[in-house]
Amino acid sequence: MEHVCRAIKTNQDLLPETPWTHIFYNDFWGTLLTHSGSHKSYRPLCTLSFRLNHAIGGLNPWSYHLVNVLLHAAVTGLFTNFSKILLGDGYWTFMAGLMFASHPIHTEAVAGIVGRADVGASFFFLLSLLCYMKHCSTRGSSARTWGWFLGTGMCAGCSMLWKEQGVTVLAVSAVYDVFVFHRLKMKQILPTIYKGKNLSLFLSISLLTFWGTSLLGARLYWMGNKPPSFSNSDNPAADSDSLLARTLTFFYLPTKNLWLLLCPDTLSFDWSMDAVPLLKTISDWRNLHTVAFYTGLLLLAYYGLKSPSIERECNGKFVTNGKQNANGHSCHSEVEYGNSEIKPSFASKVENGIRNNASQRTQLPSTENIVVLSLSLLIIPFVPATNLFFYVGFVIAERVLYIPSMGFCLLITVGARALYVKVQKRFLKSLIFYATAALIVFYGLKTAVRNGDWQNEEMLYRSGIKVNPAKAWGNLGNVLKSQSKISEAESAYRNALYYRSNMADMLYNLGLLLQENSRFAEALHYYKLAIGSRPTLASAYLNTGIILMNQGKTEEARRTFLKCSEIPDENLKDPHAHKSSVTSCLYNLGKLYHEQGHYEDALSVYKEAIQKMPRQFAPQSLYNMMGEAYMRLSMLPEAEHWYMESLRSKTDHIPAHLTYGKLLALTGRKSEAEKFFLKAIELDPTKGNCYMHYGQFLLEEARLIEAAEMAKKAAELDSTEFDVVFNAAHMLRQASLNEAAEKYYDLAARLRPNYPAALMNLGAILHLNGRLQKAEANYLRALQLKPDDIITQSNLRKLWNIMEKQGLKTSKT
């Protein structure tokens, strides 16, 4: 998946050679946080956990998945403990924990490695909330209360450093303190603040507000005081010109998210593009869902915040004026708090130095209190994803629902418990209990099925075709291509483009597939379409230039490479990949100049490439070509320097061994040169080019028999490589092995039938070997291709003289 690739596989911050402090300056994907193309996803603690995984097991996915599963287990344990504080001991707490553990919406966060950001943030989210609950229960009775508050702040900061929404725990803590611990109703809040009845509550809420504001301010400052920018395909509603469409869609999306929590029958790895069509008119029937959702939300909020009645429920028993004791847990009517100073319901009482046994028992909040807290857990952590304060880079993201699902599970459980208590008939009680248990079983079964989709990329992408066909088919094409299923991959790419024809990445991927299968004209067509769709796609320029260069269209190739090198990296999603493509363009432009004999121009371009190349770019080929250019300019010390730099950057780089060996031979260091040639052969004994260079060295040393053996070996191994075969034939000819030379000159001419030099040399060896008529035919063919070649003309005249002396018929007669 793209996210895994960028966050782990290509993220330089995970590598041991990268200073670990870079994690605190870069975003989740390894891009500098202040860069204009950064997603501003600042999650250094999550990235640090990936780095530790990488240090232990490299890119082996097993250890990454193990950490995710262990984190999910830890979060489930914390959530169950949290539920126990609210619901007490018993099966309802157990059911809440089971529902959270098995909910299908968590599959992406747990099975997808990058989902660790959400799971890790949830772990510290719950730790922070539990610390604050402890702070509330010890406030006014123990000096340690501020230690618990410090733990709240630190865990909230850690949660935010795992993922941005973690900071919302401070708001949830405030809701807990006001509406659960102190059991205030809406109309009681302002009088309490105004009359200063509870200064400790006011102080705690003020400190929460201060710390939350400080964290958000520091976060905004650290990311350069600028919001992220996203493409229109990531969040089509945000890019819509219609205010009505934006408003209706943004109001509808929370409804869709709640439905995924309630009925997760259709899940997808990606909900971008047109996965959720825009609501463009009031008459769209989905607006009814929106109205129903917000109506239900308001009714629940009213139920939780309405003024208290005399009689209310407590843990399954009805109480009047707070006198009833239920299952060992005492309850107080909210009416008691209407007269004097509000007393926290969970605070311990110490009278005359002796703790009162009755008040030692933890008092459970009412259903209304839990509903308010559940709604806050459901809504507040989801607010950053609503596009309310800033646009986000997705339409729906299942992993974002990991923390809100806590509120959902708690709400379902407390609702089922309230119904269970309310009904009188045993049959109905059993029905409610078993219906809740059945829901958990269904969720578990769906999770098992969804885990099957996440077993491998092919199954995952196939499962997403019905939700987001364009993205799913495109990603499936990449998987099929990696499996060498070329025709199926091509079909998948074309299916993706059928649903969304302007996807630059898919156009590029299809072009690349066609290029790798030698369908160059079609590949060029799709590269040009990709560039038209995204003019900053440097990799499309790079491959276009390479095809044009191989087709001999050097001027077009030069212009393409130059245009690519001038594309800035501002506002690009992956600036590192862009810089790598730009560097490769400059490298190929330098090679083009080199082949044309413009060595100074080549050097200038190579130097620019070195200046622009990113940290992850492998520079050994670039350094080697620098050395080659200096070598051609007879600047041998500089050439040697760059050859050595190439070998330092990659000690087993074969071309640098060969070129450095040639330089050593040229400067008289023969024994050292031979060692480098032999080392190149040792590194890859199947590479004919290595034997060819060693053969040339042996030929210059007049070791003709050895040179001939190397030439034959080279030509046998790389019989389809023209340069290798052609040079092998040269060496065999110089070793006076003319019959063998003829064989390989003939092969070279068949590899490049329209190359004049190949035909001329074949004619020459046939001439020497006495095959005069064949020699004449090849000379004439060479002259047709290059009529003004003086050497071929001279050889042909000599041949004709011999043929006339032997009485053979020539073409001129």
pLDDT in tens, 767-785: 888 888 888 888 888 888 8
Distance separating the N- and C-terminal Cα atoms of the chain: 71
Q: How confident is the model at residue 327 (pLDDT cuts 50, 70, 90)?
A: very low
Does residue 118 sit in helix, strand or coil?
A: helix
Nearest to 322 by CA among 294, 268, 364: 364
CB distance 523 to 514 below 8 Å: yes
Q: Which residue has the tokens 């190929």?
A: 588
CB distance 545 to 591 below 8 Å: no
CB distance 189 to 166 below 8 Å: no
The CA distance from 651 to 454, in Å, is 39
Please report, rounded to a whole number, the percentage of residues in the chain having pLDDT higher than 70: 90
Give me the pLDDT at residue 317, please. 41
Q: Which residue has the tokens 């670039």?
A: 622
The CA distance from 676 to 214, in Å, is 61
Q: How many CA atoms lie within 13 A of 748 on its CB side?
A: 27
Average pLDDT taken over every residue of the chain: 86
78 φψ region: left (φ > 0), alpha (ψ -120 to 50), beta (else) = alpha
CB distance 96 to 165 below 8 Å: no
The CA distance from 102 to 240, in Å, is 37
Mean pLDDT of 223-237: 72
The CA distance from 19 to 22, in Å, is 6
Q: How confident is the model at residue 512 (pLDDT cuts 50, 70, 90)?
A: very high
526 versus 757: the higher-pLDDT residue is 526
Domain segments of the chain: what residues?
Answer: 60-244+365-451
Query: What's the gap between Cα 402 and its chain centre?
Result: 19
Does residue 480 sit in helix, strand or coil?
A: helix
Give me the pLDDT at residue 343, please. 40
The CA distance from 358 to 348, in Å, is 10
pLDDT in tens, 334-363: 333 333 333 444 433 333 333 333 343 457
DSSP assignment of 433-469, as one string?
A: HHHHHHHHHHHHHHHHHHHHHTTSHHHHHHHTTTT-H
| Token pair recorded at residue 434 | 């078993």
Give me the pLDDT at residue 800, please. 85
pLDDT in tens, 397-452: 899 999 999 999 999 999 999 999 999 899 999 999 999 999 999 999 999 999 99
Q: How confident is the model at residue 634 (pLDDT cuts 50, 70, 90)?
A: very high
Q: Choose the most confident range, by mean pLDDT, from 241-250, 508-517, 726-735.
A: 508-517
Does residue 650 sit in helix, strand or coil?
A: coil
Give me the pLDDT at residue 622, please. 94
Burial group, residue 311, by CB count within 10 angstroms (0-12, 13-18, 19+): exposed
From residue 235, how far is each of 273, 310, 387, 801 by CA, in Å?
A: 7, 49, 10, 80
Strand partners, 314: 317
DSSP assignment of 340-361, as one string?
A: SS---TT---EETTEE-HHHHS
Q: How many CA atoms lie within 13 A of 474 on its CB side?
A: 25
CB distance 593 to 599 below 8 Å: yes
Weakest mean pLDDT among 290-294, 454-458, 702-706: 702-706
Give me the pLDDT at residue 345, please. 42
Q: Which amino acid is at 642?
A: W
Which positions ≥6 away from 745 have C-beta within 8 Å?
726, 729, 733, 758, 761, 762, 765
